Structure 1
């Protein structure tokens, strides 16, 4: 997402006139040519990351006029977008190389046999309407109508395309080998603060009166509940999800052994259902996080740093790492629409540490499965709930000096006086929920 707005992508099937399909394929071939030429120029023969060209102006100056002459009929904006797409990939390759990963030159096949592809269209190369889109091609523009469901209520199309609050931005035409889709990017201005943040800063006793901050900690798990928040929100059933995953794998294995064309087609259809099912699960978990944050009037939601969580669950299936990333991404997108910030912290010791900051005992003996009982102060909580509380406290330790609202590393009980997260009230760093007048275990 850009710094100046919030983006959402709506996938819309297109009705492309039969006699214009060849024009779109021809356009893709010339766009791919531009991309490959740009890739060859930017990559060269690098001996170190710095040798890779990742500046648009450099590539555009060297290639634009040549590509205009070599791709007759291709609109200038499509050439420029082709170069920009390559520059983006080169920047990623350079960063990955510097991080120690093995990288290779990005390639851009033209899919002359009508394989899948995508073309980036900005507002100069495409005109976006609420019921159709007009796309530039190597000949003349082609107008494609949207294929819409009969019932629009509650669909992303209604929420974003038909809303006056959102407008079209640079989008993609996608061909999946059989049909065309518009991945329409809708954008709107970013909310700077949620409404209640201003109210809290003006004296709400349930918040940090100096900074207006309310934190919600989120713990992600491979078993039990997939998501547990510091307001005692328990979302998703990871055990059922794992069982469903195993059932899918069992059926897939049987189809692969069968080896017939029918089994092959069924395999791919089932894989699509599986992806949609787990994607919907990730959305449900993300919605649970957002609901908790909105009800608790939070300004920040804090997750575990996924680069570190991958090490912690390295023995778990790769699927879990994918799921955690998807949940966090979806939640961050949804929170942004509410003006709520998403952040991450190092999750080290959040499962073993007592979330009563008057105590903060940290030992493996505190946790047995899903039960947390502090051997020092006796605090008894659901273990994942305790971890979620600690994640919120960890953000506090890493980001705020308790006396002046400035960055500082401490989370000691003597200095941790501001309220951090909520459950039927506000959780203070001392581990007490204030609004109900009682400690919640």
Structure 2
């Protein structure tokens, strides 16, 4: 799963002693200088992406000692983190350039129009406590108390900062132009298996029982119309049509307030923006909760989404497409699943809505007569269109896994994965086509199980 730690960011307002505020600002000036010098070094009139310096080691070897001299021996770890921040941004710029996007040289202004900034602190430049933080500055250390809510129960502060299972990692001091915040990164070791899982599963084979590690996949289809989320376990969550109607209502109301032009209308306009964001955010959480519930109910080890990166460049410019919540839903689901030890993956979305999800058929239909149902012209399989796509997304994971391990092309889900299973509405399917406990070739036209949480 990559990094061995889970990371969560907790935003904590902090009190900087009034007589030490200028020390913090002066520290920012010097870290910004280090960042800009690093950017100049990494971006030297590049003509193609490979010209960018993206290796932190290369930049640090070239710049560390000169930057410490230029900044009158600014704390060593602040210099190192300033360099690392820039090389990280250069890696992002390189990826975007490779993908064909227009990119510009990152700049690090010492003085922004809103006076905001951020400084990266690791555990050597800062000491993190449960109720305060000690920060290195150009003039020694400064201790800053946390500003905490009266009720801590259920807050991120209680769940992560006060929980002994979590510890502090490299964090950021943020000044928003008016007050200071600690964006505290809390971390803990990742679970090696889902919270409900045993390490071994007994698998029935032709030769009897065999104890092997088991992989069970839940496919997730994200949609702009009908239901926002449909899973291969026949979970239908979030009524996308109602969401689009609500979005149109907000847009009409904003338009009316803009035309009114009064101060009261101006205040209402900005308040409406907050209500709209909260409504859509709650909607995204409810959809993500549905995915998590299905994953737990079917005891999945993996949840698979389509790779929809840059999809807005390939689809309609209609508002319901360009304001689609798929990214937010997926990120929320990934965040919740990670805490449970359930892995997430993405697959190529090509033909997942057109292909028959019967593994014994494998036909691909260009167009279906119904917008809501899938009718296979070869085997007669009849399913909700999005449910069929969700099953195909899970099967695509098996296919891509097979191609990667065997170096073969094509969609094959037949041999060598008897311990892998696709989670369905009732029972599971192994890639070999053996379905337990009900027959795989069901022609039931599924009804949605219900939207929301």
Deviation at 1:389, TM superposition (A): 0.8
CA drift of 1:228 comes to: 0.7
In the TM superposition, residue 36 of structure 1 has moved relative to its aligned partner by 1.0
> Who is 2:279 aligned against?
277
Q: Distance in 1 between the 2:23 and 2:178 partners?
A: 15
Answer whether contact 2:11 2:183 (CA < 8 A) is retained: yes
1:95 Cα deviation after fit: 2.5
Contact 2:398 2:431 in 1 (8 A): no
The answer to whether the 8 Å contact 2:202/2:210 transfers is no
215-224 vs 243-252, which moves further: 243-252
CA offsets 1:233-259 (integer angstroms, 9 cap, x no match): 112222222223223333333444456
CA drift of 1:262 comes to 6.2
Q: Which residue of 2 aligns with 1:232?
A: 234
Give the corresponding residue for 2:250. 248
Gaps of 5+ in 2: 446-453
User: Deviation at 1:301?
Assistant: 0.9
1:17 paired residue number? 17
CA 1:204/1:247 → structure 2, altered by over 3 Å: closer, same or farther?
farther
Instruction: Report 1:17-416 matches (<5 A).
Output: 17-72=17-72, 74-111=74-111, 114-194=114-194, 198-199=198-199, 201-203=201-203, 210-257=212-259, 267-307=269-309, 309-310=311-312, 313-317=315-319, 323-366=325-368, 368-400=370-402, 409=409, 411=411, 415=415
In structure 2, distance between residues paired with 1:45 and 1:305: 33
Tell me the TM-score normalised to structure 2 length: 0.85
Relative to the length of structure 1, the TM-score reads: 0.87
**2:427 maps to which residue?**
425
Moved more, 373-382 or 386-395: 373-382
Contact 1:34 1:79 survives alignment (8 Å): yes
Residues 36 and 11 of structure 1: CA distance in aligned 2, closer, same or farther (over 3 Å):
same
Report the Cα offset of residue 35 of structure 1: 0.9
Distance apart, 1:298 and its partner CA: 0.7
Deviation, 1:117, is 1.8
Displacement of 1:316: 4.4
1:84 is displaced (CA, Å) by: 0.7
Cα distance in structure 1, aligned partners of 2:10 and 2:436: 42
Give the deviation of 1:102 after TM superposition.
1.7
Change (3 A) 1:353 1:98: closer
Query: What is the rounded CA distance, in whole Å, between the counterparts of 1:266 and 1:125 in structure 2?
Result: 44
SS in 1 for 2:192: coil
Higher mean C-alpha deviation, range 426-435 or range 112-121: 426-435
Separation in 2 of the partners of 1:69 and 1:345? 49
- Secondary structure of 1:420's aligned partner: strand
The 2-side partners of 1:69 and 1:263 are apart by: 55
- Counterpart Cα distance in 2 of 1:117 and 1:84: 16
C-alpha deviation, 1:387, in angstroms: 0.9
Tell me how far apart the structure 2 counterparts of residues 28 and 2 of structure 1 sit (CA, whole Å).
32
Distance 1:434 1:167, change over 3 A: same
1:6 and 2:6 matched:
yes
Distance 1:420 1:95 in 2: 33
Return the alpha-carbon distance in structure 1 between the equivalents of residues 237 and 211 of structure 2: 30
| Aligned-pair CA distance for 1:39 | 0.9
Gaps of 5+ in 1: none
Shift in CA distance, 119/346, structure 1 to aligned 2, threshold 3 Å: same
Contact 1:173 1:181 survives alignment (8 Å): yes
CA drift at 1:221: 0.3
Separation (CA, whole Å) in 2 of partners of 1:284 and 1:121:
35
Provide the rounded CA distance (Å) in 2 between the counterparts of 1:47 and 1:272: 43
Work out whether residues 295 and 303 of structure 2, in 8 Å CA contact, stay in contact via their aligned partners in 1.
yes
| Structure 2 counterpart SS, 1:361 | coil
| Greater strand share, structure number | 2
Q: Calculate the aligned-residue CA RMSD, in Å.
A: 3.2
